[in-house]
Chain A
Amino acid sequence: MASWPLLSLVTFVPLAGVLAILVLRGAEADIARNARWIALWTSLLDLALAIAVWANFDPSRADFQMLEESAWLPDFNITYRMGVDGLSLFFVLLSSFLTPLCIISSWVAVRQRVREYMIAFLVLETLMVGTFCALDLFLFYMFFEGVLIPMFLIIGVWGGPRRVYSAFKFFLYTLLGSVLMLLAIITIYYQTGSSDIREALAFDFPPQLQTWLWLAFLASFAVKMPMWPVHTWLPDAHVEAPTAGSVILAGVLLKMGGYGFVRFSLPMFPIASQNLAPLIFALSVMAIIYTSLVALAQDDMKKLIAYSSVAHMGFVTMGIFSVTSEGLQGAMIQMLSHGVVSAALFLVVGVVYDRMHTREIARYGGVADVMPKYAAVFMVFMLASAGLPGTSGFVGEFLSLIGTFQVNTWTAFLATTGMILGAAYMLYLYRRVIFGKAVKPDVLAMPDLSLREVAIFAPMIAVVLWMGVYPVSFLRPMQPSIANLIERVQSAERAHATKLAVAP
């Protein structure tokens, strides 16, 4: 298996599905049916390939594995270069895990332009997986930025009533952040003489330059993540996107920001990261407390979950920039957990939305009476989101709080209040939707989960519990890489400190 270009396969297999869907001919209904099946099988094949990547991964190594290289622009030292390490491995898995679920969840909900819809999702999958596998700065940027095109179309074509506004806001906000990162990437390229990410990771940039580059990367990742105060595109995009679009948005696209911080900002600019960590802590705490309070006041289910995403991402940024082993592991687990849990919550909302075509919380109530299975599923994810021990959410939040506590007690203290608020808004949501007496006629008419919907949620519940009960299987592969990362940051700081001490 090792001789196969496994990472290229896992990245580009979805494009083969796109080609197959493109050549479909026949009646509209036949095309739609075939497009669905092709998309499903392609994404399942891709999941199998991603699992093969995991199986081939050597968890004891800290460096990049399954390297692939081929010439792209040899005159410029820009190469097609792929590889994974402990930090990126699980994001590849997450992307390929969520895509088939998205396709199944849109099976009946999407009736218009099914062919284009499936193509958009498969292209999106290629770009997402590519972002996490790329080991060349320009290649990374191409995947990272290319995501905008399918997502723009998904929100704009299959979205809700204000979809045009949301699609534009999403596109322009993200683009604005990313172009500054592009300039930073070009600067790195000239500094190191290569666009190889590994070389850039080992390069010591001058401290002054580090700050500028760090800020440019922040502009991109903070928007993507999203961090307070540049999060305002997220509620709009989430609310208007179709269910599966929200799933990918919350599940994977937000993680690109966090991945960017771990992969680039921290190891490439350790001194700037150290100096500017208080800024991140302040923004994280703001995000956790402020957006939790905002979430508490929402009437729209999707908007509530969107704001809760911003709060959860606050834990991630906080954990990352604590630069402790616990903090980073917590941030990674939190990202993976949020990737599954928030994705699942959007699917949960999608289930009732498909039946009642409203996301307004007040229109529901007493759903437990008519949909017991649904209520149970909702409860698992609601509790995971609130960080109940035994679920993945707890592991992530707890570890990142431990990590932050070692560095900055006040930040940890304030962030902990976010956990309480998190429990508050999730339970409040659950009470309003699920409990109470079912009196509204349209609520009474809702059928419980179908087999297809159970098939979507079962693997997600399994992953949430697995990650909560035995997180070691996820932590072990990333530990060497995280240790390596911390060592890199600390040695750079020591070197900088000695230089400062020597200087008069």
Chain B
Amino acid sequence: MIPVFPIPDFMPALPEMFLGCAAMALLLLGVHQGDRAAREILWLSVGALIIALALVLAPLARHGPAREVSMFGMFVTDGFGAYAKVLVLLGAAFSLVIALSYNDRHGIARPEYPVLVLLGTAGMMMMISANDLIALYLALELQSLSLYVLASFARDSEQSTEAGLKYFVLGALASGMLLYGASLVYGFAGSTNFDTLAKLFADGGTASIGLVIGIVFIAVGLAFKCSAVPFHMWTPDVYEGAPTPVTAFFSVAPKTAAIVLFVRVMVGPFGGLLIEWRQVIWFIAVASMILGALAAINQHNIKRLMAYSSIGHVGYALIGLAAGSAAGVRGILVYMAIYLFMNIGTFGVILCMKRDGRMVEEISDLAGLSRTRPALALALAIFMFSMAGIPPLAGFFAKIYVFLAAIDAGLYSLAVIGVLASVVGAYYYIRIVKLMYFDEPVSAGYDRPIGREMQAVLVIAAVVILFFFAYPGPVVDGADQVAAALFAG
């Protein structure tokens, strides 16, 4: 008898498939045209990301954020996923745009660059939509392999290749852990499907020790991917070594995807076991916030500083996961949305820090920027105050929503540690403001002009951060709805 394979409904995965096909087509074009078409291919990739964004949003506009499982239970589309995909796509598109002039100037303007970003983004979107441990692993690897190559994209630079290699070795280790955890879960629970697992643990009964170990291993793998303490060691080296636009990309899109995946895995299949994993997340969150705040104080390199800053931010976002409630998930989504704009903006400014055509990465070099480049200094000051969480800037709202969730869930000590760490963290953010505004300029300032596309990105990011308070509705209400739906389903 010939087995009958039913054709699955591919429509829910249309954005991912479009992105994959676009990546292939652009790769062919790149091979055919060579490096001289790099600029066009980059813009075409941005276009592809925007089309994918439209494809994500189109079904929402038509019939709301309904939950739909397809491909034999492997793939899920829901409002939560759509929200996160929008963030990932925006992050990827912005980081491609700000890469434009850097790549040109540093001899890495090759068509493979945007293609790898597209493939990685497709992987991230599949991660977000994963509904099965196998699908999760496949998507994660597609993403990770693209990122390893991107990290070492400046192949003539020792630092960049080192970053890529480090990222690869440690990333492979983390993937192994995750896979090991997944197999333990399969062994003790008998399924890899999230829905089946969720039903199994719905009553929240006692979990076997093997299962708990499996969950912890999965958490370790995911914590590595979103660079949470104690699995953060790779972050500063990779952030410093990778080409700056790649670092900008790393700090937004894969991070968002990894945190969203973390949420998907923890509150989805293992939601019933909140008691078992909450303390793990609690510890990771606290350790990330404290380490992020303390370790950044002594940094001299701005990319390293941003690495520790991102570790700290992951800690805050994970407060929402520790809460394990709809309010917590809402907090995470709002946090990541605001974090996206703060980070893209900051990296945009970092990419403008070049003198005589060479990048300058020393923090002390920002001294007196308010005299030499007032607009740039103002933008960076806005991002820094926002990262420190000072109202009325957007970063304040990011923090308040996760703290709302923490208080609601009764995690008072976590909230208190969080706010105290934010005061310590504020020190190094305002130190940058101090350098720019209080100190005298040390040099003639940075190269002019900055590209028009860069100006546009900086203005967009600054306006979003500065005026978020006036109209927080869409970001917050959207997150509220999709988070509530995640828990209702």
A binds B: yes
Q: Which residues of A contact B (CB under 8 A)?
A: 72-73, 75-76, 116, 138, 141-143, 145-146, 148-149, 152-153, 156-157, 163-164, 167-168, 171-172, 175-176, 179-180, 182-183, 186-187, 189-190
- Given A75-B477, A138-B400, A175–B426 Cβ distance below 8 Å? yes
Contact B423 A183 (CB under 8 A): no
User: Which of B1-9, B78-86, B412-420 participates in binding chain A?
Assistant: B412-420
Q: Which of B385, B420, B476 contacts A75 (CB 8 A)?
A: B476
* Residue in contact with A171 in the complex, picked from B396, B400, B430, CB distance below 8 Å: B430
Q: How far is the CA of A202 from the CA of B238 in the complex (A)?
A: 54
Stretch touching chain A among B12-20, B169-177, B311-319, B403-411:
B403-411
Which of A141, A157, A163, A167 touches B391 (beta carbons < 8 Å)? A141
What residues on B are CB-neighbors of A179 within 8 Å? 419-420, 422-423
B392 in the interface (beta carbon within 8 A)? yes
Asked if B407 and A167 make an inter-chain contact with CB atoms under 8 angstroms apart, the answer reads no
A360-B342 Cα distance, complex, nearest whole Å: 45
The reply to whether the CB of B36 lies closer than 8 angstroms to some CB of chain A is: no
Known: A163-B438, A171-B430, A175-B426. A149 touches B419 (CB 8 A): no
Q: Which residues of B contact A183 (CB under 8 A)?
A: 403, 407, 412, 415-416, 419
Partner of B423, one of A146, A176, A187: A176
**Complex contact A186–B407 (CB within 8 A):** yes
Sample of 18 A–B contacts (CB below 8 Å): A73-B476, A76-B476, A142-B391, A145-B390, A149-B385, A153-B437, A156-B434, A156-B438, A157-B437, A157-B438, A164-B438, A167-B438, A168-B430, A175-B423, A179-B419, A183-B403, A189-B404, A190-B404
Complex Cα distance A171/B389, Å? 13
Q: Is the CB of A142 within 8 A of B423?
A: no
Asked if B400 and A168 sit within 8 Å, CB to CB, the answer is: no
Q: How far is the CB of A223 from chain B (nearest CB, A)?
A: 12
- A142 with B430: in contact, given A75-B477, A149-B385, A179-B420 (CB under 8 Å)? no
Tell me whether A176 and B420 are in contact (CB under 8 A): yes
Q: How far is the CA of A179 from the CA of B403 in the complex (A)?
A: 11
How many contacts A-B (CB < 8 Å)? 79
> In the assembly, what is the distance between CA of A172 and CA of B477, in Å?
32
CB distance from B446 to the nearest CB of A (A): 20
Shortest distance between the CB of B341 and any CB in chain A (Å) = 18
**Which residue of A148, A152, A180, A190 contacts B416 across the interface (Cβ within 8 Å)?**
A180
Q: Say if the beta carbon of B210 comes within 8 Å of chain A.
A: no
Residue B186 at the A interface, CB < 8 A? no
Interface size on B, residues (CB 8 A): 31
A220: shortest Cβ distance to chain B, in Å? 11
Which of A73, A142, A182 is close to B403, meaning CB atoms less than 8 Å apart? A182
Asked if B72 lies at the interface with its beta carbon under 8 angstroms from chain A, I say: no
Contact of B437 among A75, A156, A189 (CB under 8 A): A156
Q: B434 near A149 (CB under 8 angstroms)? A: no
> In the bound complex, what is the Cα–Cα distance between A143 and B391 (angstroms)?
7
Cα distance A171–B437 in the bound complex, in angstroms? 15
A175-B422 Cα distance, complex, nearest whole Å = 9
- Least Cβ distance of A24 to chain B in Å? 13
In the complex, are the beta carbons of A172 and B469 less than 8 A apart?
Answer: no
| Other A-B pairs, 20, CB within 8 Å; known A152-B433, A168-B430, A171-B430 | A73-B477, A75-B477, A75-B480, A138-B400, A149-B385, A153-B437, A168-B434, A172-B423, A175-B390, A175-B423, A176-B420, A176-B423, A179-B422, A183-B416, A183-B419, A186-B407, A187-B407, A189-B404, A190-B404, A190-B407
Q: Say how far A284's CB is from chain B's closest CB, in angstroms.
A: 26
A76 to B481, CA, bound (A): 12
> Cβ of B390: which chain A residues have Cβ within 8 Å of it?
145-146, 148-149, 175
Asked if B472 lies at the interface with its beta carbon under 8 angstroms from chain A, I say yes
* Alpha-carbon separation in the docked complex, A333 to B415 (Å): 38
The smallest C-beta distance from A179 to any residue of chain B, in angstroms, reads: 4
A180 and chain B: residue at smallest CB distance: B419
Contacts of A146 in B (CB 8 A): 390-392
Answer whether residue B473 sits at the interface, using C-beta atoms and an 8 A cutoff: yes
Given A145-B391, A153-B437, residue A73 in contact with residue B430 (CB < 8 A): no
Chain B residue nearest to A216 in the complex (CB): B416
Cβ < 8 Å to A, chain B residues 440-456: none
Given that A73-B476, A141-B391, A175-B423 are known contacts, is A190 also in contact with B430, CB under 8 Å in the complex? no
Residues of B within 8 A of A157 (CB): 437-438
In this assembly, does B283 line the interface, its C-beta being within 8 Å of a C-beta of chain A? no
A171: chain B residues at CB < 8 Å are 426, 430
A175→B424 CA distance, assembly (Å): 10
**Contact B391–A152 (Cβ < 8 Å):** no
| Bound form: Cα–Cα A143–B400 in Å | 15
Q: Is B427 in contact with chain A by the CB < 8 A criterion?
A: yes
Bound together, the chains give a CA A494 to CA B264 distance in angstroms of 51
Shortest CB-to-CB span from B440 to chain A, Å, is 11
Q: Quick one: closest A residue to B416, CB to CB?
A: A183
Least CB separation from A141: chain B residue: B391
Q: Are B427 and A168 in contact, CB atoms less than 8 angstroms apart?
A: yes
Most buried by B among A143, A149, A172: A149
Residues of B within 8 A of A72 (CB): 472
- In the complex formed, the residue of A with least CB distance to B405 is A186
Assembled-state Cα–Cα distance A186/B397 (Å): 12
- Chain B 449-489: CB-based contact to A (< 8 A → 1; otherwise 0): 00000000000000000000100110011001000000000
Measured between alpha carbons, how far is A153 from B430 in the docked complex, in Å?
10
Which chain B residues border A152 with CB–CB below 8 Å? 430, 433
Q: Which residues of A contact B434 (CB under 8 A)?
A: 156, 164, 167-168
Q: How far is the CA of A384 from the CA of B78 in the complex (A)?
A: 68
Q: How far is the CA of A167 from the CA of B416 in the complex (A)?
A: 24
Alpha-carbon distance between A189 and B400 when the two chains are bound, in angstroms: 12
Q: How far is the CB of B431 from chain A (nearest CB, A)?
A: 8
Closest CB of chain A to B180's CB: distance in Å? 39
| CB-based closest 3 A-B pairs | A179-B419, A142-B391, A156-B438
Q: For A149, list chain B residues within 8 Å (CB).
A: 385, 390
B121 to chain A, nearest CB (A): 30
Chain A contacts of B426 at CB under 8 A? 171-172, 175
Cα–Cα, bound, A15→B198 (Å): 53
Can you list, as one digit per residue, whether each of B209-251 has a CB less than 8 Å from chain A (1) or not (0)? 0000000000000000000000000000000000000000000
A-side contacts of B407, CB under 8 Å? 183, 186-187, 190
Given A156-B438, A168-B427, A142 and B396 contact (CB-CB distance below 8 Å):
yes
Please give, as numbers and ranges, the residues of chain A lying within 8 Å of B420 by CB-CB distance.
Answer: 176, 179
